[in-house]
Structure 1
């Protein structure tokens, strides 16, 4: 990489890829083809399809999904090394590109007892460890105005959700001397949130449901209440993750378009999930397409990339895009992002673009799926995966995923036995032929068009900060 950026993220903070069943998709209208053009495309497509070996994809998934591959861990490093080794075996000079980020390990123990009665609290992402026994004092919404004349020295502040962020509530209480903070929900249900980032001024903070919080508030109003807040195992530290990159230069030097196509996926998973579908499936498909396209004549540079730390906020893909020169950004005509492409329990294949609009990648892919399956794969708006940093840089990009996602998403049940070889074959054929449709020396497909840089509308994180 050309530069290293330190990014604060949570190891347990999972990027959401869950898609809505009610999403509105747009499909291309069937395009009439002459028998001669159809025969030509059939012959070209078969050059790719006949080389795809779905057993290779399945076996790579099986290897990668033996254990969770959380970014910054030894397991993720081993996964990146495996990807590098596989790519090098095909004749590539694959690179392991490390980058630093500041990560957060969720607490292993979170407890709250009030005058001997145990509650069931949750901790906030970025809350610090500690053991505090003190009187509980009600502090309203925890705003600076409410706390202006309140002394919380040595106390535990009981604060209601609302008005300002959780992080601000904790800092405001800490500045008034509080040793710990309890925040309770202002709506029904549990409260699972984030303080938004690491801060040395934080004190231990836990959350309660609305019912539990209001019950505790009544006790506080009735008289002096003593509580014990315990948080153990929470840790903030600098860690290393990796992107793996391999490049195929154009073989047709005289017809070199000077363009670049990127095929990518993320190799990390969330804590506790072996991530067979999310996203060993996409990673294994990148490996197989790199093998398939290695021996085919091309006039376009092909880059195969697996990203680290996607689950923590698309850090690896942001690092990759930030490290590109402006010339490279201008030359990349498409980014194909493969994420969760093999679950037997997920819905149908869809394409997701960060702005919901068609682009060069969706056009190529819809033309490919129309030729292969008789139906153009629909597209809709969707972010929260590694196509987003490319799209924000004005690079045409799309996410390939099945909708709705499988019930095993981000769970220990995301295992190899849930993988469908038929779905793997289908996506590999669509992406492989779409890429080759543009990268073959005599390509006649749609003309590449650059997008405009913008800020993607979707948040990267599911957790609430306010």
Structure 2
């Protein structure tokens, strides 16, 4: 659910701030960093991760609601008034049983994948090759009552399934165009879907060769136990208002997502980011600021960034105009992931990466930047708010697995991220720094480079 990023120049920052404390940090910046660093208690972050990762926090479930209540109580214990923003979405539980068989292949062990939002059904019919599943590929085919074999590529999985169904197919098999098993998504529920499973490239090509040699094949596709239902998820928002008589009108957002995928405790993804957000909220609760800071944990990130989209869409034009940066922390604690990097949607530097690089150079080492979506910084970039994802890359081998547990968390990495994001945010928010003006971004305070570093 990554959309094209459009970032208006009017919302980039900043000349006034950029030419003073931003482009050329004051010597006193390190002293202010120490006010953050000395207050950070990494054991707090670690304990919060342990609490949150006691069970998976799948969006729309009671476990997510338990996490939301826990996060609210934490924020409130630091003196914040909290807001719980609810939103509706369609949740999906994968099938409990899947099966595929083909006449003449009785001893074949099929490597099967499924599609999120796929439907249940049991179908037996003639297997027919339907190319890439485009409308033009189906014009001369009789698919009524049959199973369509379709190759991955060019159009979405959903369009392949719907095109075949509209042409009369009772089920669809999509085989990969690269190595490995497909585990894809149809994007959302649709009454036009028919049961669909995925095959590897090798097994799909094997079936295609038989069909191209005019051998008649009968296939059976079975999908049971899949369920799509309307659910509710939540964002949790804690706002630190600026000191009285010092409000410069700025807003800064610090965020993470609190949900996890099914079956994964989500210690690193993303209890680590949520716990670090909570600790920075505690650290800054009573610190002097002239900038409004919004600490937010988002729901349903794993379902397509739904919580951050809901929040971004709720912002007024004035709030968007006044928000100078969004700092997103996702997967910031794994001992087995790579080094810290800052990702932007368009692969360009912005005020968030400039400040993050500056804080890193003062506190540990300079952090580089790259280009990547796939987290909650995306919706903010799309509406023109400078945003960046702070993450360690490449990610750990047990990403999105039951192995994402507390014993894999590094306190050193948590401390590093908390210090860098905390130092960067406080450089904006503290009263002695000029307000960021809505103008073009100034040169960075330190040299930092673009990296072609993949997440996985």
The answer, yes or no, to whether TM exceeds 0.5 is yes
1:418-462 deviation digits (Å, cap 9, x = unpaired):
111111112111222222222122125x8454679xxxxxxxxx9
Residue 155 of structure 1: how far off its partner (Å): 2.0
Structure 1 346/147 Cα, relative in aligned 2: closer, same or farther at 3 Å? closer
Q: Quick one: which of 58, 70, 86 aligns to 2:58?
A: 70
- The answer on 1:409 being equivalent to 2:399 is yes
Aligned to 2:347: 356
Q: Quick one: which of 304, 307, 331 aligns to 1:340?
A: 331
Structure 1 48/173 Cα, relative in aligned 2: closer, same or farther at 3 Å? closer
Aligned to 1:103: 91
Structure 1 406/173 Cα, relative in aligned 2: closer, same or farther at 3 Å? closer
Structure 1 337/226 Cα, relative in aligned 2: closer, same or farther at 3 Å? same
1:278-297 deviation digits (Å, cap 9, x = unpaired):
11011001111111111111
Residue 204 of structure 1: how far off its partner (Å): 0.9
> What is the correspondence of 1:394-433 to structure 2 with a 5 Å cutoff?
394-433=384-423
Give the conservation status (yes or no) of the 8 Å contact 2:289–2:430: yes
Worse-matched range after superposition: 349-358 or 330-339 = 349-358
Aligned to 2:446: none
SS at match of 1:311: helix
TM-score by length of 2: 0.85
Give the conservation status (yes or no) of the 8 Å contact 2:324–2:436: no
TM-score by length of 1: 0.83
Aligned to 1:288: 279
Structure 1 151/264 Cα, relative in aligned 2: closer, same or farther at 3 Å? same
Aligned to 2:424: 434
Aligned to 2:451: none
Structure 1 354/225 Cα, relative in aligned 2: closer, same or farther at 3 Å? closer
SS at match of 1:254: coil
Structure 1 134/279 Cα, relative in aligned 2: closer, same or farther at 3 Å? same
Give the conservation status (yes or no) of the 8 Å contact 2:111–2:181: no
Worse-matched range after superposition: 310-319 or 215-224 = 215-224
Structure 1 409/451 Cα, relative in aligned 2: closer, same or farther at 3 Å? farther
Residue 150 of structure 1: how far off its partner (Å): 3.3
- The answer on 1:387 being equivalent to 2:354 is no
Equivalent residues, number = 420
Q: Quick one: which of 91, 99, 107 aligns to 2:79?
A: 91
1:49-70 deviation digits (Å, cap 9, x = unpaired):
2211111111000000111111
Aligned to 2:17: none
Structure 1 111/332 Cα, relative in aligned 2: closer, same or farther at 3 Å? same
SS at match of 2:280: helix
Aligned to 1:56: 44
Which structure 2 segments of 5+ residues have no match?
Answer: 4-19, 442-454
Aligned to 1:314: 305
* Alpha-carbon distance between aligned partners in 2 of 1:339 and 1:187, rounded to the nearest angstrom: 28
- The answer on 1:215 being equivalent to 2:206 is yes
* Alpha-carbon distance between aligned partners in 2 of 1:387 and 1:150, rounded to the nearest angstrom: 44
Aligned to 1:5: none
Aligned to 1:269: 260
Aligned to 2:167: 176
- The answer on 1:43 being equivalent to 2:37 is no
Worse-matched range after superposition: 222-231 or 123-132 = 222-231
Worse-matched range after superposition: 296-305 or 122-131 = 122-131
Q: Quick one: which of 218, 221, 229 aligns to 1:226?
A: 218
1:364-407 deviation digits (Å, cap 9, x = unpaired):
2222222222x332222222211121112111222111122222
* Alpha-carbon distance between aligned partners in 2 of 1:427 and 1:111, rounded to the nearest angstrom: 45
Residue 179 of structure 1: how far off its partner (Å): 1.5
Q: Quick one: which of 59, 79, 83 aligns to 2:67?
A: 79
Q: Quick one: which of 279, 288, 293 aligns to 2:270?
A: 279
Q: Quick one: which of 193, 199, 216 aligns to 2:190?
A: 199
- The answer on 1:157 being equivalent to 2:148 is yes
Aligned to 1:330: 321
1:292-312 deviation digits (Å, cap 9, x = unpaired):
111111111111100011122
Worse-matched range after superposition: 77-86 or 225-234 = 225-234
> What is the correspondence of 1:232-251 to structure 2 with a 5 Å cutoff?
232-251=224-243
Worse-matched range after superposition: 164-173 or 226-235 = 164-173
Q: Quick one: which of 356, 379, 395 aligns to 1:365?
A: 356
* Alpha-carbon distance between aligned partners in 2 of 1:204 and 1:451, rounded to the nearest angstrom: 51
Give the conservation status (yes or no) of the 8 Å contact 1:359–1:449: no
Give the conservation status (yes or no) of the 8 Å contact 2:234–2:299: yes
Aligned to 2:102: 114
Residue 143 of structure 1: how far off its partner (Å): 3.7
* Alpha-carbon distance between aligned partners in 2 of 1:85 and 1:371, rounded to the nearest angstrom: 33
Aligned to 1:23: none
Give the conservation status (yes or no) of the 8 Å contact 1:110–1:122: no
Residue 417 of structure 1: how far off its partner (Å): 0.8
* Alpha-carbon distance between aligned partners in 1 of 2:131 and 2:436, rounded to the nearest angstrom: 59
